[in-house]
Structure 1
Amino acid sequence: MPERPMQQPHLADSIDVVEEALSEVVLSRIPSTSPFHQPRQLTEAERERFRKMSRDSREARRSALAGEGPAPLHEINRPNFNPIDLMPQRQAEGKTALSLFSGGGGLDLGVERAGFEHSASFEIMSEAGDTLRKARSNWNVFSGEDGDVRKVDFRKWRGDIDLLHGGPPCQPFSNAGRQRGHLDERDMWPQFVRAVKEIRPAAFIGENVPALASPKFSQYVSENIIAPLAGSYHIQQVTLQASEFGVPQVRKRVFFVGFRLKRMANAWVQPAPTHYWGEPSLNGAEQRCMGLREALGLPGLGFDDLSPTIRSSLTGPRHTTSILNSVAAQRKFESLQVWPNGVAADRPSARAFVAKNGHFRLSVPDVALIQGFPEDWPFVGATYMALGQIGNAVPPPLAYAVASSVMDVLEK
């Protein structure tokens, strides 16, 4: 008896199955102004669990701020760390800089302190643009739709810019993301390269997560960053650790530094570490980097450590006021008796909102310090938006070190 052929599913049946599966997914009702946000695909039941968590957290915060919660356990901290001390203002005559993907201003601030005069900043997030304007009312800031670099003709700045700098979105390459590289619509390195070609600055600094320097993306770097500019620029790549420049955090970044003239490229020397954590002899630096508790001015525990890498609240599957990026980071914060979830808007609110485990609750100003921003840098937006700008930023002292190394060459 011949074998009966397997019955193929009817096309309509297949469509019904797909539609049934899709109908279980409920779109998030939380609005986002971040172009980097990719919300989770969740069912109504899953979303309701998150809503309940948010409602419970809001009620606990409201109760605490109304004086109805547990009595505060910690005094308002007075930090020992002042990032400006790591960035003495340099004076230079007429060296100009233009910023792309400016975010909350980490690169912009470091470049300014290195002696460059600001020409323009481009940033697609409106709140981040407002941060830049509030921090520096004299800066020329393009944000929102006007800050979308894909729509800008940069040739108008040709001949007027000494340094072009920017950190294209890191989500296409980050270990915390899907690492889709050029397949990710947020990959903006081609736009950075286009801007370099159109402006033709004397030098450029491109920045990103260290994963971009890994073997996984070596072909991408070669084909999309180095090759398109190799005919006009001499490019060097370096990975730097923020704590080696005084920032109390474990945070590596990769920098691509390019010079139009070969003699300048040959004269460039990558920044040497100014600080150490652990054994001073390992990197040759003479100054000790503060640990997290010392930097924030918290009472001693008998030990201290660097902060884990701060994550951005804008780039994950849901907006959050947590700065945790891994289970290892959670263990580190626990050992330091610091609570990294539900970061408060300011220090009085953090003190009033007692963490369940009694640990010290962080505030936005504390997280900004951990990232190397000075106390008076005015992040605009809701708490999650401020944390997102901070977490996406290059630590300003690290930006300062790289920009100063470029200034050393341009001034000769």
Structure 2
Amino acid sequence: MYRQGTARGTETAWYQGWDLTENERATFRATTIASQQAKRQAIAGECTASKHPIYSPRLDPLDLMPRLHANGLSALSLFSGGGGMDIGFDRAGFGHVASYEIMEGAAAVLRAAHPDWTVYGGDSGDVRRVEWGKYRGKVDVLHGGPPCQPFSNAGRQNGALDVRDMIPEFVRAVKAIRPRVFVCENVSGLATKRFEEYVKSTIIEPLERQYVIRQFILNAADYGVPQTRRRVLFVGFADKEEAARFEIPAPTHRHDQSKGSGHNLPKTMGVREALGLPETGVDALSPTLRSGLTGPRHTTSVLSSVSALKLWNKLGVWPNGVAVDRAAASGYVAKNGDFRLSLPDCLVLQGFPGDWPVQRPVYFALGLIGNSVAPPMAYNLANAVAKALCPAKL
């Protein structure tokens, strides 16, 4: 049974922890105490010399998203979270109308990154309370990624029975605003047979009379992001001719999971190369980074599964106890001596600018990163939408 979280940024029922048995609580408590003790020793300088120096990343995600000139199109953001979709559309030349995000901590990050943006957070960012008609005729593209927990394994896939299911609210906004295009993003689980009827009744049928809707899956690694991260997209065009011009963004990079042609494309960096770590003869894409706000407790781990742990081990990277910065990670030695990740490292692996102002606590920052759309993927999608809307300019 779910219970509402009360930690910073999680006052809303959209981000809930799980009730645990006493044995589970005891296990987590013992692990936490041991981790806290090791961390205190590291901060006090009581540990041995750092296992690794502070490395500089070889990948700058901004290189994957060259800033384009303003294209004269506007974009309104719902469920903005850490800002992944917002970054992509902004870098692609779209004018920013506003961002709506119920977590005030997330809204604060967006304001810090872009003081010029209009950002609604907390109660004013609650999409359930907004009368969207005020934006009619003022928005070319409405985009957003409603909470994914109702459709993800970590969220138990309760779909419409989950209080966090906000896709109906996204559809309500589309119907009220009537943008030229809408873009709805979610975990690939939403595209499985389990939710086929849900998608039909909740997204397709309410909107298909006004929009030509395309459904497809993108992998962030196809756009240079050093992470396996597949997401389903629903893109709807109000104009049939513009819909006919829309092309699903082709890969810009190749990687070890690439399908089909593309051998002439630049290679997506693996984790070690992207983070500037020494070569070991083994490198690969990062497993999908989990959000620090999902699972049985809020966590500073990005580990998503047992198979992911095996890959992290092969890479020589420790996915648990992510540190606040690279200096702290270097001094906080992992038990097995592997490289410890920091928040700036996770930003790079997710395709965010390395200086994106995510804040403490670390679990909350990881929640924003792990829940976000990878910005380079959003950027390429934004370019594809822009080309369909105004091909003469691009």
TM-score bracket relative to the smaller structure? over 0.9
Residue 190 and residue 29 in structure 1: after superposition, are their counterparts in 2 closer, same or farther (change >3 A)?
Answer: closer
Structure 1 residues 324 and 230, CA gap change in structure 2 (3 angstroms): same
What per-residue deviation string (whole Å, max 9, x for no partner) do you get for residues 65-120 of structure 1?
Answer: 11111210101011000111111111134311000000000000001011101010
Whether the aligned pair in 1 keeps the contact of 2:74 and 2:140 (CA below 8 Å) is yes
Q: Which residue of 1 aligns with 2:260?
A: 282
Q: Distance in 1 between matches of 2:109 and 2:271?
A: 25
Q: RMSD over aligned Cα, in angstroms? A: 1.7
1:296-325 per-position Cα deviation (integer Å, ceiling 9, x unaligned): 000001121110000001021200000001
8 Å Cα contact 1:163-1:202 kept in structure 2: yes
**Residues 331-367 of structure 1, C-alpha deviations (whole Å, 9 max, x = no match):** 0000000000000000000000000000000000001
- Residue 407 of structure 1 and its aligned partner are, at CA, apart by 0.7
> Once the 2 structures are TM-superposed, how far is the Cα of residue 42 of structure 1 from its aligned partner?
2.5
**Alignment partner of 1:315 is 2:294:** yes
Q: Is the 8 A contact 2:4 2:16 kept in 1?
A: no
Q: Partners of 2:21 and 2:226 in 1: how far apart?
A: 40
- Correspondence for 1:113: 91
Letter matched to residue 383 of structure 1 = V
Per the normalisation by structure 1, the TM-score is 0.91
Report the Cα offset of residue 279 of structure 1. 8.0
Shift of residue 283, structure 1, vs aligned partner? 3.7
Q: Is the 8 A contact 1:309 1:325 kept in 2?
A: yes
Q: Deviations over 1:276-301 (max 9, x none)?
A: 11387834251111011000000001
Residues 172-191 of structure 1: matches in 2 within 5 Å? Answer: 172-191=150-169
Matched, 1:353 2:332: yes
The 1:97/1:331 distance shift into structure 2, 3 A limit, reads: same
- In the alignment, is residue 291 of structure 1 matched against residue 273 of structure 2? no
Q: Which has the larger radius of gyration?
A: 1
Equivalent residue letter for 1:109? I
1:6-49 Cα offsets, whole Å, 9 max, x none, are: xxxxxxxxxxxxxxxxxxx9x89963532333323234454244
Cα deviation digits, residues 118-142 of structure 1 (max 9, x gap): 0100001111000000000000000
**Could you tell me which residue of structure 2 aligns to residue 160 of structure 1?**
138
Aligned counterpart, 2:171? 193
User: Paired residue for 1:244?
Assistant: 222
Whether the aligned pair in 1 keeps the contact of 2:8 and 2:364 (CA below 8 Å) is: no
Give the conservation status (yes or no) of the 8 Å contact 1:280–1:288: no
Alignment of 1:198-347 (within 5 A): 198-278=176-256, 282-284=260-262, 286-347=265-326
In the alignment, residue 204 of structure 1 is paired with which amino acid? F
* Contact 1:37 1:316 survives alignment (8 Å): no
- Alignment partner of 1:172: what SS? helix
Secondary structure, counterpart of 1:119 in structure 2: strand
Tell me the alpha carbon deviations over residues 137-185 of structure 1, each in whole angstroms, 9 at most, x when there is no partner.
0000001111110000011111000110000001111133211111111
| TM-score, normalisation: structure 2 | 0.95
- 1:139 pairs, out of 117, 120, 133, with 117
Partner residue of 2:379 out of 391, 397, 400: 400
Q: CA deviation at 1:205?
A: 0.6
Query: Are 2:364 and 1:388 aligned?
Result: no
* Equivalent in 365, 375, 392 of residue 344 of structure 2: 365
Q: State how 1:86-97 maps to structure 2 within 5 Å.
A: 86-97=64-75
1:18-33 equivalent positions in 2, closer than 5 A: 31-33=7-9
- The C-alpha deviation readout for 1:196-250, integer Å capped at 9, x for no partner, is 1111111111000011111111111111001101111111011011111100001
Q: How many percent identity over aligned positions?
A: 53
From the superposition, tell whether residues 162 and 43 of structure 1 become closer, same or farther in structure 2 (CA, over 3 Å). Answer: same
Gaps of at least 5 residues in structure 1 are 1-24
Cα distance in 2 for residues equivalent to 1:79 and 1:163: 34
Check the 8 A contact 1:338/1:360 in 2, yes or no: yes
Give the partner amino acid of 1:361.
Answer: R
Q: What is the CA–CA distance in structure 2 between the aligned matches of 1:347 and 1:256, rounded to whole Å?
A: 37
CA contact (8 A) 1:346 1:365 kept: yes
Q: What is the CA–CA distance in structure 1 between the aligned matches of 2:150 and 2:74, rounded to whole Å? A: 30
In the alignment, is residue 149 of structure 1 matched against residue 127 of structure 2? yes
Give 3-state SS (helix, strand or coil) of 1:142's partner.
strand
More deviation in 308-317 or 171-180?
171-180
Partner of 2:46: 68
